[in-house]
């Protein structure tokens, strides 16, 4: 059953990612795209976790953790750039 | 007068060897230099070299004597004496070399030194141009000669003359004989000013007169003749030899003689006369018979003896009156009677008047010209030709004497009355004139004791002595001589209308032609280079890509089958999904590339999916690294983005887009094809070794990490070095980058855009310790599980970057309490010293060691030297990443240039 | 500044780090030791970045607060899900300003995060001088009620926890 | 799947190459990044593609080829260093030359 | 996949968590795609996706805890981290949107305009 | 296995890391460390050349046996390149220490990194490791190129960097193909496996060989790939440009190493034959372009840059003749041309500093001080470069042409080389007469002092070129033996992998 659930979850997350990409592509504003990317990052954390379960490895959490950290930093960098025209000042 | 000592000594030495000339074998002395090249310091003294060496040193002595007065009171005198000695050495080297390559060394040396001598009066534009012209022509000829000699050496198997001269048949029958001969003769002709390479010689007259007298009458120009004479036994006596040399000599003879007649410049006249005489000697060498050779060498001696004093006379007059123009200089006999008297002999000799040396040699020429029968045109054409040329030579000889010393009164001379030199200054002239006279009076003795041995050397045979009494009886040559003389006088008498006609001819200056040709060539080169190297990076890249694609495509045409034997694996929908998104986002980057920020976001997506692909295909370490690197890279690009235009105009026209698309698709197809070809072929890798030895040999179960820090730790050492260099480089070239104007623009006063949002600060502060703990965790587990120093370092760096973003550069930097460059240095040292530590135990660099320890309470744990290495990696990564970021961030803030961060 | 304060500027947080280390690794004496060393060192190293003294007075209450928050997040998500899926055209989004009584930055951050994580609200701007939060609401019906709700449910407990 | 991977790498390469042939440094940097993705994936796939078998001893019965992974890791780091460098350099060049145009002499560029 | 030894109930719970998480995330993304205005779109991902991931991570936590026999809490750390950062991300994006005047004249009332 | 072998990499890295750690040290201290390190490298180079005469030396890094671990191989070629690079570097660092090192930051650290990269590239026996060292030396060279700042450097640097990044990508592609088909990275092991590969795989491997030719060709400056070079080299500061004279040679070295060892083991049908087929015409055209560029150059630095191109063309053309004797001669020419190109870059600076205006522009004939001394140096250097005797240029060119005779297509090489020589004579005499003869004596009020140390550096470097001619015979013996060794790839394989490797088809544990 878990296999089935994992596959279903992966499919759902894949659909989510497609929706995120759709928003990323159409915008209209750059903040929309940033938001879309931020969400995409979160959804891909999910994908990584699901890979881990599906492959029964248990070693991909660090990747998930890093995506969370990096996604946050990336989003902050981009918004700061929009707000201040610079990232570090 | 020290300067004369050297040639004098040389002369004496030569004289001492004179008795040995009669012997069959030449004197040869060899010191090995470069046997691989066949280049030895090898000298040869035989009749020919003795004759030339004697001329060189003898006339050299007199020239130096003459120069002493010529350069009296001039600061440039020492330079002249140094150069002339050098030149003399080079000339002696040419004539005394046994090894042809060795001779070439001196050959080129004469070109170079004569370049300096011609350009001696460098402030004069004519001198500079003349020097360059001569260097390019003679230097170019030298290159041809190099090729010719190399070929010759290759055919003969040696560069030693003795061996070459012994292989005449092999050489002349060789397939490459024509090519080799042409190249050698090209060298000889350029040096000896044979038409059409004669152009440099008149312009070499810009040199001081002693130079002209020495180089352009007696020595350098004779080098080419010497070479022909020297190689005659080996290469001569073929139709090609005859045709090439004789025809060239004939043309040169005529051109020189004709032009000389119309020169108003004394030295110019002498220069063209020299050309003409060189042509004459060349013609004789080309005929190739023993007698012709004898005539050639005899005339060569005569020419040296009469031409040098004439040049000296020209210099004397030039210095005395400040001019060399014969239209102005007239009737000097009144002021310089002694000079006039001394000049009579060489001038008469040049004209070939009876009793003079020149008369004999000319007669020899005439008689030889009658003997030529080989090509049927020659026996008529050559005699007529030489007679006509003789006519001109009579005319210009008379002219130089008459126009200078008689012909009315001087006009508008720059220096008047003429400055006189001490009587001693005439000594060299006197000596030469005397010698010239002596040759004319007792030719047989001179020939027998001096020239004959040389002729033997050039013909490699024992020939009877030339019989001058027979010459006296020859009627036809005497008639030809007489005819030339009378006609010459007639032409001279009719010079006024002839000059008028000549003046109407277009004025052609070889220097100008040379300059024009040079300028054109240079401009052509510049245009070509500019068109190729036009500063368009894209064109360079496209060229590289096209070359690559073309070469690789060509190489693969022979491939039988792209698809290998390994069966294809099933398509996982998840892989399809991931890869499709990857491709889509990449295409998105292309579509959005003109809009910076969206393109960057799509690029992040690409990176993210590359990460996912790594994660899916069993490469967790790669996934972690790719991810961290991607974010740092995007942050760096964001930082830079504020200085770059946010959008770029649409620039590419359709053809350009199509071209680029073609290149891109070709490159992409190549990569795809290779991927497919390799993936469908079986693999046979060394990796089993790593999987087997990772735990027992490297002490870690994460094989990728063990490879990185142990099996291939050297790569990693290099990798962190790259990172360190990048950071230091960024530091170095942003240090003085002035962006003040940007700072002024960036005043954000919007109410929502405070520089350091509070919430961000709070979360960032909390995130830092956690992130550090996480890095410690990732670092420590790296040896056994995905992770390691690099990723840990990036996590730390990212967390610290977050501090920069949240609190600002100044705020955060104050709190770092460390210098990033020191951190990089320390990290590299740590890794390096870990590697060096293995020397202590006698193992190679970077040999790792590990131990399982069991301490009370703590239990069993592992300590590996690789951990120390990895700590170095960690430190370097943190230092490097932050150094880059901080310095990029610095650009817009703080004090501006000069203030160092990190 | 006492000796303990110098070496353990944020004792609670250092403890949290040790716990985190043990969670990431295994519970063993070796890891406790290693974790403690790391936690202390990291706290010391990062202390300059975090100069304020910790003001959490009642850690227990904080845990209760966090538990309640988790439940609220679950609820809020169901609400938002329904709105997104079925009422997206009837939504009446809008901004409102929330007057703060909290002063501590950390506490305000907690509050703002809480607001962002719970029903249909996102804190968009914090005006430190005017001590207000600008909040965007997905479906803004009754502004006053919402302000009261936030104040009662979250701000008061936070004031207690931080003794603000 | 091999075909799919090949095509994907081809597309990545195509995109990267097309971008580095654009006239602005930023596009070039984008292109180089895409190209390095393509190359890294290529090198990675040369160890053949394996799912669910990380090269960790004792985790799974079989194991992916660890060597290309280590190589790619090195390559990623190096290309990161290079990217950072080239970004800063292009920024410097753009500031100094007052243009980020790199396709030949730019008519708009200030001359010294 | 070695799930055969797992008790059915645990399996069911894990599956439920996974699917619930996926559904929440999907809803968040649908919101991102469908809603009319940036500030409305901001709600979906910040809440739904975060919670969705939270659920998923709890599922994973249960799964691996069972698999390994010890409590595996890495997922919890990720969750906590996400819950701490997501509001700040949203906050920053909202600021950026306000700065750029995104959504001005859109459906959101009381658009702050100073 | 002697630890001295790793020192050419370790010492400069140690020096560089130390300099970074103490980055606040005064410039004087930095110079001392840098010069000390470089001098040690010269000593090591001398040791290497001596040691390499006996046999191959290998060094197993981390004590992992090849092909599994990375191996360093010291043979005659690498030893000679080590010595050359160290010598050149010593002159460059001495010259730079007279002030150019102050124009930017961290010159000495970057310089040492550069040496580390170069030495590593010469020593390594592992193809991926070669890639890593290439990246080190490239990145350091980018940084050094930009040393001192300025627009020209930024622009040229950008082109240089981006083109080489493309080159790196191609390198990785080639490595991927090689690894994908053979499963190994060690050059010797690769050689064995490539020779044993089936014909279809060999075709693919040939593609990799051509890719590598392009990669090395970019660095070695071969025709359609070299357009980054003139501007980059002429923009660099003098000591850096002088050091860069060795960089194209690194490309050439890699080409020789890889084509002869990795793709040359199969004696019946070596894969490198197909590469030579392309290399030959391209190199000849490069040679021609170099000559044209020299004639069309606007400054002495640009001229020197084209000299580098010309010498690259000649080197590669002669290499493409695929004969040991020709290779020996071209290695000798390599020594000569590297020294002289460096001389010209330094000379351009030396002269430029003494001129009233125009620096090293040929179109400007400004008065200059010390025209005697400078003119003489220029004359000797020019004569040697143009191949006039008795300097090394003549000897090397003569030997090269002479040895090339046995090749059926030698006339092409001869013709283009000789015409190029003529072009060089024309260009150099024009430059020299315009500079040293044309202008009035320097009358400027403030006296430009000629730095004796700089002059001495350049003079000694010129002297080396002269010494190369004088003591050519032993050097030529060394080169012949080197070329002979290179055409014995099986000996290399045996030295690296052990004797049974050939029989077992590689991977011999
Ligand atoms: Na909320
Ligand atoms: Na978020």
pLDDT tens digits, one per residue of C98-119:
999 988 888 899 999 999 887 6
pLDDT at B721: 96
The radius of gyration of chain D's CA atoms, rounded to the nearest angstrom, is 19
Residue range(s) defining the domain that contains residue A50: 2-84
Contacts of B787 in chain D (CB under 8 A): none
Provide the mean pLDDT of chain C.
Answer: 85
Would you state the structure tokens that stand for residue D79, as one six-digit string? 């290309």
pLDDT at F397: 92
B718-730: pLDDT as tens digits: 999 999 999 999 9
- Residue D109, pLDDT > 60, answer no
Query: Do residue B773 and residue C20 have CB atoms under 8 angstroms apart?
Result: yes
Whether chain A has a CB inside 8 Å of the CB on E10: the answer is no
- Residue B561, pLDDT > 70, answer yes
* Domain assignments of chain E as residue spans, ordered by start: 8-100
Among the residue ranges B175-184, B670-679, B785-794, F349-358, the one predicted with the least confidence is F349-358
Give the Å distance between the CA of B351 and the centre of ligand 2: 108
Task: Measure the CA–CA gap between B719 and B708, rounded to whole angstroms.
Answer: 10
CB B145 within 8 A of CB B183: yes
A43-69: pLDDT as tens digits: 999 999 898 888 888 888 888 888 899
Task: Measure the CA–CA gap between B528 and B533, rounded to whole angstroms.
Answer: 8
A58 to chain D, closest Cα gap in Å: 10
pLDDT at F507: 56
User: Which residue does chain C place closest to E95, by CA atoms?
Assistant: C124
- Residue B376's pLDDT band (cuts 50, 70, 90): confident
Return the higher-pLDDT residue of B489 and B664.
B664
Contact F/A (≥3 CB pairs under 8 Å): no
Strands of C94-99's sheet in order across: C94-99, C132-137, C121-127
**Domain D2-50+63-97 -> CATH class:** mainly alpha
Provide the mean pLDDT of chain B.
Answer: 87
Residue B694 — φ and ψ, nearest 5°?
-60, -50
Contacts of A89 in chain B (CB under 8 A): 755, 808-809, 889, 892-893
Closest ligand by atom to A72 CA: 2
pLDDT at F324: 94
- Residue B858, pLDDT > 90, answer no
CA B744, E96, B592 angle in degrees (round to 5)? 90
Residue F499 — φ and ψ, nearest 5°?
-70, -30
DSSP symbols for B764-799: HHHHHHHHHHHHHHHHHHTTTSS--HHHHHHHHHHH
- Residue B378's pLDDT band (cuts 50, 70, 90): confident
| Rounded alpha-carbon distances, angstroms, from residue B845 to B690, B729, D74, F36 | 19, 28, 20, 22
pLDDT mean over E94-109: 88
Whether chain C has a CB inside 8 Å of the CB on E98: the answer is yes
The answer to whether residue A13 sits within a structural domain is yes
Query: Do residue E27 and residue C140 have CB atoms under 8 angstroms apart?
Result: no
| Rounded alpha-carbon distances, angstroms, from residue F222 to B541, F317, F417 | 14, 10, 16
pLDDT at D112: 32
Query: Do residue E110 and residue C96 have CB atoms under 8 angstroms apart?
Result: yes
- Residue B642, pLDDT > 80, answer no
Pinpoint the alpha helices (H) of B160-289. 161-165, 168-172, 177-191, 200-203, 209-213, 220-235, 239-262, 266-287
Contacts of B671 in chain D (CB under 8 A): 9-10, 13, 38, 42
- Residue B749's pLDDT band (cuts 50, 70, 90): low
- Residue F275, pLDDT > 80, answer yes
The answer to whether residue A89 sits within a structural domain is no
Whether chain E has a CB inside 8 Å of the CB on A52: the answer is yes
pLDDT at B748: 53
User: Which residue does chain A place closest to B619, by CA atoms?
Assistant: A60
* Domain assignments of chain F as residue spans, ordered by start: 287-441+450-489
> Which three-class secondary structure string do you get for B58-69?
HHHHHHHHHHHH
User: Which residue does chain C place closest to B860, by CA atoms?
Assistant: C30
Whether chain F has a CB inside 8 Å of the CB on D78: the answer is yes
Whether chain B has a CB inside 8 Å of the CB on C103: the answer is no
- Residue F446's pLDDT band (cuts 50, 70, 90): low
Give the Å distance between the CA of B901 and the centre of ligand 2: 32
A89 to chain E, closest Cα gap in Å: 16
Give the Å distance between the CA of B602 and the centre of ligand 2: 18
Residue % of chain B over a pLDDT of 70: 97
pLDDT mean over B326-352: 88
- Residue C1's pLDDT band (cuts 50, 70, 90): low
pLDDT mean over F125-151: 93
Query: Do residue E40 and residue C23 have CB atoms under 8 angstroms apart?
Result: no
- Which of E1, E11, E13, E25 is the best substitution to test chain A (most A C-beta atoms within 10 A)? E25
Query: Do residue B772 and residue C42 have CB atoms under 8 angstroms apart?
Result: yes
E59 to chain C, closest Cα gap in Å: 15
| Rounded alpha-carbon distances, angstroms, from residue B529 to B85, B93, B535, F295 | 42, 41, 11, 10
**Which residues are CB-contacts of E10 (< 8 A; sequence separation ≥ 6)?**
E62, E66
- Residue F363's pLDDT band (cuts 50, 70, 90): confident
Backbone angle region of B457, left / alpha / beta, with phi > 0 → left and psi within -120 to 50 → alpha: alpha
Whether chain C has a CB inside 8 Å of the CB on E32: the answer is no
Query: Do residue B802 and residue A76 have CB atoms under 8 angstroms apart?
Result: yes
Whether chain C has a CB inside 8 Å of the CB on E7: the answer is no
- Residue E45, pLDDT > 90, answer no
DSSP conformational letter for D52:
S
Contacts of E85 in chain B (CB under 8 A): 763, 767
Cβ atoms within 10 Å of B562's Cβ, excluding its own: 14
3-class secondary structure, F425: helix
Query: Do residue A55 and residue D52 have CB atoms under 8 angstroms apart?
Result: yes
3-class secondary structure, B29: strand
- Residue B497, pLDDT > 90, answer no
Return the higher-pLDDT residue of F14 and B218.
F14
Nearest by CB to residue E88, choosing from B750, B760, B770, is: B760
Query: Do residue B671 and residue D9 have CB atoms under 8 angstroms apart?
Result: yes
- Residue B366, pLDDT > 90, answer no
Task: Measure the CA–CA gap between B425 and B435, rounded to whole angstroms.
Answer: 17
pLDDT at B4: 73
User: Which residue does chain E place closest to A63, by CA atoms?
Assistant: E78
How far apart are the two ends of chain F, measured CA to CA in Å? 18
pLDDT at B338: 87
Contacts of B532 in chain F (CB under 8 A): 227, 289
Query: Do residue B757 and residue E98 have CB atoms under 8 angstroms apart?
Result: no
Chain E (4-43) residues lying within 8 Å, Cβ to Cβ, of chain B: none
Whether chain D has a CB inside 8 Å of the CB on F132: the answer is yes
Interface B-D, measured as beta-carbon pairs within 8 A, has a size of 320
Query: Do residue C88 and residue E35 have CB atoms under 8 angstroms apart?
Result: yes
F464 to chain D, closest Cα gap in Å: 37
pLDDT at F344: 95
pLDDT at B17: 80
pLDDT at F44: 97
pLDDT at E20: 92
* Domain assignments of chain D as residue spans, ordered by start: 2-50+63-97
Return the higher-pLDDT residue of F185 and E74.
F185
pLDDT at B896: 47
Of residues A15, A2, C78, the one with CA closest to residue E16: A2
Chains interfacing with D (3 or more CB pairs < 8 Å): A, B, F
pLDDT mean over B889-893: 73
Answering whether pTM is above 0.90, one says: yes
Whether chain A has a CB inside 8 Å of the CB on E63: the answer is yes
Closest ligand by atom to A34 CA: 2
Backbone angle region of D37, left / alpha / beta, with phi > 0 → left and psi within -120 to 50 → alpha: alpha
Element of type H or E holding C123: strand C121-127
pLDDT mean over F20-29: 93
- Which of B581, B627, B756, B760 is the best substitution to test chain E (most E C-beta atoms within 10 A)? B760
Query: Do residue E32 and residue A36 have CB atoms under 8 angstroms apart?
Result: yes
DSSP symbols for chain E: ---TTS-HHHHHHHHHHHHHHHHHHHHHHHHHHH-SSHHHHHHIIIIIIHHHHHHHHHHHHHHHHHHHSS---HHHHHHHHHHHHHHHHHHHHHHHHHHHTTTTTSS-BS----
Nearest by CB to residue E22, choosing from A3, A13, A31, is: A13
Give the Å distance between the CA of B804 and the centre of ligand 1: 28
Contacts of D27 in chain B (CB under 8 A): 593-594, 648
Maximum mean pLDDT: which of C66-70, F103-107, F109-113, F451-455: F109-113
Of residues B853, B885, F21, the one with CA closest to residue D88: B885
pLDDT mean over B62-75: 87
Query: Do residue E98 and residue B752 have CB atoms under 8 angstroms apart?
Result: yes
Residue % of chain D over a pLDDT of 70: 92
- Residue B794, pLDDT > 70, answer yes
Backbone angle region of C163, left / alpha / beta, with phi > 0 → left and psi within -120 to 50 → alpha: left
Element of type H or E holding B107: helix B100-118
Maximum mean pLDDT: which of B643-647, F118-122, F420-424: F118-122
Cis peptide before F67, with omega less than 30 degrees from 0?
yes
B759 to chain E, closest Cα gap in Å: 6
Of residues B682, B869, B676, B727, the one with CA closest to residue B788: B869
Interface B-E, measured as beta-carbon pairs within 8 A, has a size of 24
- Residue D110, pLDDT > 50, answer no
Q: Please tell me the total count of domains within chain A.
A: 1
pLDDT mean over B827-831: 95
F347 to chain D, closest Cα gap in Å: 25
Task: Measure the CA–CA gap between B339 and B351, rounded to whole angstroms.
Answer: 18
**Which residues are CB-contacts of C2 (< 8 A; sequence separation ≥ 6)?**
none
Return the higher-pLDDT residue of B308 and B749.
B308
Nearest by CB to residue F402, choosing from B119, B150, B556, is: B150
pLDDT at B357: 82
- Residue E3's pLDDT band (cuts 50, 70, 90): very low
- Residue D111's pLDDT band (cuts 50, 70, 90): very low
């Amino acid at each position: 059953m878990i296999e089935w659930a994992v596959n279903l979850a992966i499919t759902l997350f894949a659909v989510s990612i497609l929706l995120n990409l759709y928003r990323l592509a159409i915008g209209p504003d750059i903040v929309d795209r940033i938001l879309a990317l931020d969400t995409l990052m979160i959804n891909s954390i999910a994908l990584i976790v699901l890979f881990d379960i599906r492959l029964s490895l248990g070693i991909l959490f660090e990747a998930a953790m890093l995506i969370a950290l990096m996604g946050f930093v990336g989003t902050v960098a981009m918004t700061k750039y929009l707000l201040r025209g610079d990232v570090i000042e | 007068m020290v300067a004369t000592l050297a040639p004098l000594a040389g002369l004496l030495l030569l004289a001492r060897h004179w008795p040995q000339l009669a012997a069959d074998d030449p004197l040869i002395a060899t010191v090995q230099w470069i046997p691989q090249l066949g280049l030895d310091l090898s000298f040869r003294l035989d009749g020919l070299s003795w004759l030339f060496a004697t001329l060189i040193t003898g006339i050299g002595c007199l020239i130096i004597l003459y120069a002493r007065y010529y350069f009296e009171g001039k600061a440039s005198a020492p330079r002249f004496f140094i150069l002339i000695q050098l030149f003399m050495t080079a000339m002696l080297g040419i004539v005394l070399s046994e090894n042809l390559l060795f001779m070439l060394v001196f050959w080129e040396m004469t070109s170079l030194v004569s370049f300096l001598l011609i350009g001696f009066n460098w402030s004069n534009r004519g001198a500079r141009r003349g020097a360059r012209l001569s260097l390019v022509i003679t230097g170019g000829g030298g290159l041809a000669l190099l090729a010719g000699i190399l070929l010759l050496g290759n055919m003969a198997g040696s560069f030693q003359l003795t061996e070459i001269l012994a292989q005449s048949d092999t050489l002349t029958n060789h397939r490459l004989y024509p090519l080799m001969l042409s190249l050698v003769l090209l060298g000889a002709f350029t040096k000896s000013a044979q038409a059409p390479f004669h152009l440099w010689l008149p312009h070499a007259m810009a040199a001081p007169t002693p130079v002209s007298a020495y180089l352009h009458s007696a020595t350098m120009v004779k080098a080419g003749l010497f070479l022909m004479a020297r190689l005659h036994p080996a290469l001569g006596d073929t139709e090609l030899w005859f045709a090439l040399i004789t025809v060239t000599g004939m043309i040169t003879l005529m051109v020189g003689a004709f032009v000389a007649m119309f020169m108003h410049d004394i030295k110019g006249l002498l220069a063209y006369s020299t050309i003409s005489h060189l042509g004459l000697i060349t013609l004789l060498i080309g005929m190739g018979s023993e007698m012709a050779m004898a005539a050639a060498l005899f005339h060569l001696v005569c020419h040296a003896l009469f031409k040098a004093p004439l040049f000296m006379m020209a210099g004397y007059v030039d210095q005395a009156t400040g001019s060399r123009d014969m239209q102005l200089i007239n009737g000097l006999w009144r002021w310089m009677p002694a000079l006039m008297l001394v000049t009579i002999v060489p001038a008469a000799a040049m004209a070939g008047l009876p009793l003079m040396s020149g008369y004999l040699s000319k007669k020899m020429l005439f008689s030889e010209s009658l003997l030529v029968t080989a090509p049927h045109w020659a026996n008529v054409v050559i005699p007529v030709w030489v007679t006509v040329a003789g006519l001109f030579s009579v005319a210009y000889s008379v002219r130089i004497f008459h126009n200078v010393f008689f012909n009315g009164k001087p006009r508008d001379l720059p220096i008047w009355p003429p400055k006189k030199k001490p009587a001693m200054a005439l000594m060299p002239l006197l000596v030469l004139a005397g010698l010239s006279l002596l040759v004319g009076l007792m030719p047989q003795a001179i020939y027998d004791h001096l020239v004959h041995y040389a002729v033997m050397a050039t013909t490699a045979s024992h020939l009877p002595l030339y019989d001058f009494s027979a010459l006296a009886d020859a009627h036809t040559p005497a008639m030809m001589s007489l005819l030339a003389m009378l006609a010459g006088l007639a032409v001279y008498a009719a010079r006024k209308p002839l000059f008028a006609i000549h003046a109407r001819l277009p004025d052609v200056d070889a220097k100008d032609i040379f300059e024009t040709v040079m300028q054109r060539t240079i401009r052509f080169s510049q245009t070509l280079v500019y068109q190729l190297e036009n500063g368009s990076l894209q064109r360079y890249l496209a060229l590289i890509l096209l070359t690559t694609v073309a070469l690789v495509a060509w190489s693969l045409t022979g491939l039988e089958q792209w698809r290998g034997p390994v069966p294809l694996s099933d398509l996982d929908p998840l892989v399809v999904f991931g890869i499709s998104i990857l491709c889509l986002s990449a295409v998105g980057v292309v579509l959005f590339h003109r809009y910076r920020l969206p393109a960057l976001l799509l690029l992040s997506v690409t990176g993210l999916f590359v990460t996912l692909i790594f994660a899916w295909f069993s490469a967790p370490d790669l996934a972690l690294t790719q991810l961290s690197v991607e974010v740092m890279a995007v942050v760096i690009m964001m930082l830079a983005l504020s200085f770059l235009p946010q959008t770029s105009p649409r620039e590419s026209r359709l053809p350009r887009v199509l071209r680029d698309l073609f290149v891109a698709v070709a490159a992409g197809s190549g990569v795809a094809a290779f991927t497919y070809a390799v993936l469908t072929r079986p693999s046979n890798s060394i990796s089993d070794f790593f999987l087997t030895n990772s735990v027992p040999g490297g002490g870690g179960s994460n094989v990728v990490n063990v490879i990185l820090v142990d099996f291939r730790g050297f790569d990693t050492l290099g990798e962190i070095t790259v990172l360190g260099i990048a950071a230091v480089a960024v530091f170095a070239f942003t240090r003085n980058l002035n962006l003040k104007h940007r700072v002024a623009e960036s005043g954000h006063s919007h109410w929502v855009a405070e520089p350091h949002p509070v919430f961000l600060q709070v979360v960032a502060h909390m995130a830092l310790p956690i992130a550090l703990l996480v890095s410690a965790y990732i670092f420590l587990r790296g040896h056994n599980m995905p992770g390691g120093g690099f990723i840990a370092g990036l996590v730390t760096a990212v967390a610290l970057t977050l501090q920069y973003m949240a609190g600002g550069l100044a705020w955060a930097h104050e709190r770092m309490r460390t210098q990033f460059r020191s951190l990089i240095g320390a990290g590299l040292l740590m890794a390096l010293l870990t590697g060096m530590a293995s020397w202590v135990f006698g193992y190679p660099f970077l040999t790792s060691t590990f131990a399982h320890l069991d301490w009370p309470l703590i239990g069993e744990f592992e300590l590996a030297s690789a951990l120390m290495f990895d700590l170095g990696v960690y430190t370097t990564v943190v230092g490097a990443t932050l150094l880059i970021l901080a310095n990029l961030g610095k650009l817009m803030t703080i004090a501006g240039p000069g203030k160092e961060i990190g | 500044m006492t000796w303990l304060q110098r070496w353990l500027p944020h004792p609670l947080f250092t403890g949290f780090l040790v716990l985190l280390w043990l969670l990431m690794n295994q519970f063993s004496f070796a890891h406790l030791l290693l974790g403690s060393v790391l936690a202390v060192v990291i706290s010391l190293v990062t202390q300059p970045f975090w100069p304020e003294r910790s003001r959490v007075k009642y850690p227990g209450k904080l845990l209760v607060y966090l538990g309640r928050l988790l439940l609220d997040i679950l609820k809020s998500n169901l609400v938002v899900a329904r709105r997104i899926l079925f009422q997206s055209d009837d939504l009446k989004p809008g901004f409102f300003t929330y007057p703060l009584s909290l002063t501590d930055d950390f506490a305000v951050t907690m509050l703002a995060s809480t607001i962002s994580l719970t029903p249909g609200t996102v804190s968009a701007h914090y005006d430190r001088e005017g001590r207000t939060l600008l909040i965007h609401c997905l479906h803004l019906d009754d502004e006053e009620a919402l302000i009261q709700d936030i104040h009662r449910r979250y701000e008061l407990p936070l004031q207690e926890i931080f003794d603000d | 799947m091999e075909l799919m991977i090949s095509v994907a790498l081809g597309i990545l390469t195509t995109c990267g190459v097309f971008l580095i042939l654009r006239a602005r440094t930023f596009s070039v940097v984008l292109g180089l990044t895409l190209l390095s993705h393509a190359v890294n994936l290529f090198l990675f796939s040369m160890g053949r593609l394996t799912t669910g078998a990380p090269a960790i001893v004792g985790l799974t019965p079989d194991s992916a080829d660890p060597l290309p992974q280590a190589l790619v890791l090195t390559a990623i780091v190096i290309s990161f260093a290079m990217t950072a460098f080239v970004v800063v350099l292009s920024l410097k060049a753009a500031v100094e030359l007052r243009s980020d145009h790199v396709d030949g002499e730019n008519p708009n560029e200030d001359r010294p | 996949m070695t799930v055969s030894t797992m008790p059915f109930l645990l399996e069911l719970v894990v599956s439920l968590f996974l699917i619930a998480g996926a559904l929440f995330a999907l809803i968040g993304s649908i919101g991102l795609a469908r809603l009319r205005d940036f500030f409305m779109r901001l709600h979906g991902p910040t809440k739904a996706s975060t919670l969705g991931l939270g659920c998923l991570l709890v599922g994973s936590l249960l799964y691996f805890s069972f698999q390994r026999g010890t409590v595996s809490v890495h997922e919890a750390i990720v969750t906590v981290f996400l819950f701490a950062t997501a509001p700040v991300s949203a906050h920053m994006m909202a600021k950026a949107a306000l700065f750029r005047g995104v959504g001005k004249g859109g459906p959101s009332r009381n658009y702050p305009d100073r | 296995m002697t630890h001295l072998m790793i020192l050419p990499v370790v010492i400069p890295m140690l020096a560089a890391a130390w300099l970074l750690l103490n980055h606040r040290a005064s410039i004087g201290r930095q110079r001392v460390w840098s010069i000390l390190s470089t001098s040690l490298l010269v000593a090591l180079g001398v040791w290497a050349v001596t040691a390499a005469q006996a046999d191959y030396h290998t060094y197993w890094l981390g004590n992992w046996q090849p092909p599994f671990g990375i191996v360093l191989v010291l043979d005659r070629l690498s030893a000679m390149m080590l010595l050359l690079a160290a010598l050149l570097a010593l002159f460059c660092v001495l010259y730079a220490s007279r002030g150019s090192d102050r124009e930017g930051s961290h010159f000495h650290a970057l310089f040492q990194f550069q040496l580390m990269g170069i030495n590593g590239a010469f020593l390594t026996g592992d193809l991926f490791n070669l890639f890593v060292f290439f990246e080190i030396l490239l990145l350091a060279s980018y940084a050094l190129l930009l040393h001192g700042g300025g627009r020209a450097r930024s622009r040229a640097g950008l082109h240089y960097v981006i083109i080489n990044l493309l080159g790196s990508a191609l390198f990785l592609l080639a490595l991927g193909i090689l690894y994908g088909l053979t499963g190994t990275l060690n050059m010797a092991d690769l050689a064995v496996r490539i020779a044993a590969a089936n014909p279809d795989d060999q075709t693919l491997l040939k593609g990799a060989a051509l890719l590598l030719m392009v990669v090395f060709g970019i660095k070695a400056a071969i025709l359609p790939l070299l357009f980054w070079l003139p501007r980059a080299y002429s923009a660099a500061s003098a000591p850096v440009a002088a050091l860069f004279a060795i960089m194209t040679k690194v490309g050439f070295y890699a080409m020789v190493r890889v084509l002869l060892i990795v793709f040359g083991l199969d004696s019946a049908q070596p894969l490198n034959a197909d590469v030579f087929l392309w290399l030959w015409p391209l190199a000849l055209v490069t040679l021609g372009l170099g000559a044209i560029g020299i004639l069309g150059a606007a400054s002495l630095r640009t001229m020197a840059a084209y000299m580098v191109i010309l010498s690259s063309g000649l080197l590669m053309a002669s290499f493409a003749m695929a004969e040991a004797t020709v290779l020996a001669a071209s290695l000798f020419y390599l020594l000569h041309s590297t020294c002289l190109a460096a001389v010209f870059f330094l000379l351009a600076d030396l002269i430029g500093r003494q001129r009233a205006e125009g620096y090293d522009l040929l179109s400007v004939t400004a008065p200059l001080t010390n025209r005697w001394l400078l003119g003489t140096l220029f004359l000797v250097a020019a004569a040697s470069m143009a191949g006039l005797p008795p300097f090394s240029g003549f000897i090397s060119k003569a030997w090269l042409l002479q040895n090339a005779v046995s090749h059926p297509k030698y006339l092409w090489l001869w013709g283009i080389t000789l015409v190029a020589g003529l072009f060089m004579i024309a260009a150099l005499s024009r430059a020299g007469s315009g500079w040293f003869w044309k202008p009035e004596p320097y009358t400027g009020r403030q006296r430009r002092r000629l730095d004796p140390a700089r002059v001495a550096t350049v003079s000694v470097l010129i002297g080396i070129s002269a010494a190369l001619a004088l003591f050519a015979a032993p050097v030529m013996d060394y080169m012949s033996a080197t070329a002979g060794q290179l055409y014995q790839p099986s000996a290399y394989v045996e030295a690296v992998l052990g004797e049974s490797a050939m029989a077992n088809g590689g991977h011999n544990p």
